[in-house]
Amino acid sequence: MRRSMVLESLVRVVFPSAMVLALYLLFAGHNQPGGGFVGGLVAGAAFALRYAAGGLDEVRRVGRVPGRYFVGAGLFLAVVTSMAPLLFGGDLLQSGKIKLHPPLLGDIKLNSVLAFDIGVFGVVVGLVLMMLSAFGEAAVSEDDPAAAAPKATDSGAGAS
């Protein structure tokens, strides 16, 4: 596979910036436009750029955890967060707030919507990683016809 040095250099600069933007959108989402889905799309686009620059090996090197784990953990967190209010007499998807006063950090306000958004973020990023992995495995099998061709089996029946 031919690799573009310009694209690789550009991606090395853009990838960290895109991930920071994705995290900003994730954490600002419950108060401003953005959130888990948009942040996940930006992070997924960053991984897609990595894939375009270096292929599947580059994506696997950067994202060391397989995408299915992101999907599973994100889905679990989103479901638990959305159903937790039912245990306390609330409504489905009702948000809760908590204020913390840790020393040296000042006042911190947390919202349950953030946990839901983190779950959605995990699902979106995981699905993009799974999709890139599937594309990469298909590309490898196209490059190596011996790997893609079905193996002939001897059935013992002769041609008549």
User: Would you state the pLDDT for residue 145?
Assistant: 56
Name every residue whose Cβ is closer than 8 Å to that of residue 27 and which is 6 or more positions away in sequence.
Answer: 114
pLDDT (mean) for 74-103: 88
Which of 76, 103, 81 has the alpha carbon at shortest distance from 92? 81
Q: Is the pLDDT of residue 149 over 60?
A: no
User: Would you state the pLDDT for residue 140?
Assistant: 62
Q: Is the pLDDT of residue 27 over 70?
A: yes
Low-confidence winner among 7-16, 30-39, 86-95, 133-142 (lowest mean pLDDT): 133-142
User: Would you state the pLDDT for residue 160?
Assistant: 45
pTM: 0.78
Which of 136, 114, 133, 101 has the alpha carbon at shortest distance from 23? 114
